[in-house]
Amino acid sequence: MSRAARIAIPVAALLLMVAATVISSSHETGLPEDLASFTHVNTLVVPDTTSPIHGIHHFYANKSALKTMKAGVDGGSYPDGAAFVGVVFAPHKTDDGRYREGDRAAYTLMRKDAGNDATSETGGWHFVMFTADGEKMDIDPVKNCFGCHQPHQKTDFVMSELLAISPMMK
């Protein structure tokens, strides 16, 4: 083996390990890259302009989350990897007094990762918020998110209800 190969191979292996770590951690709390495969399950309007989550939220579930939601989670829990994404739009008031979606304002994410220290105070879920460009925002998941979700332990802290799912999805 040449001297260059003796150096290059371990360096390449190290780079692969670093890349794998970055990919696996961003997989947990990053904005899912397969968002196009998620299913729309619910829409929520938060009219309070002082709320950090003010806006029109469209919620999407990945396959695992949708399966559990449809089966009924009553008292049980979602499996690790189950994920919900909220795509948030700023409300835009039209000249004739209606509201429609304005610019995309943010994304919210809940991803189940029970047993991870980072989720021990938030029911086993990562709560993450991103800017409209997908940059992770500096929020406190306990203070900024879990307060509203915490009372919903019966549905594993998921607030969207099956009843709200479009009949087409049932």
Binding site for ligand HEC (CB under 6 A): 42, 44, 53, 59, 84, 86, 108-110, 127-129, 139, 144-145, 147-149, 158-160, 164
Q: How far apart are CA 161 and CA 84, in angstroms?
A: 13
Q: How far apart are CA 152 and CA 145, in angstroms?
A: 13
Q: How far apart are CA 77 and CA 80, in angstroms?
A: 9
* Nearest CB to ligand HEC, comparing residues 116 and 144: 144
Q: How far apart are CA 166 and CA 170, in angstroms?
A: 7
* Nearest CB to ligand HEC, comparing residues 18 and 164: 164
Strand partners, 91: 101
18: which 2 tokens? 């670093």
* Nearest CB to ligand HEC, comparing residues 21 and 43: 43
Q: How far is the CB of 113 from ligand HEC (least distance, A)?
A: 14
Q: How far is the CB of 57 from ligand HEC (least distance, A)?
A: 7
Residue 16 neighbours by CB distance under 10 Å: 10
Residue 5 CA: distances (Å) to CA of 9, 11, 19, 163: 6, 10, 20, 61
- Give the CA dihedral 105, 111, 115, 116, nearest 10 degrees: -40
Q: How far is the CB of 54 from ligand HEC (least distance, A)?
A: 10
Place of tokens 């993450």: 128
* Nearest CB to ligand HEC, comparing residues 99 and 130: 130
Q: How far is the CB of 59 from ligand HEC (least distance, A)?
A: 4
Q: How far is the CB of 146 from ligand HEC (least distance, A)?
A: 8
* Nearest CB to ligand HEC, comparing residues 105 and 129: 129
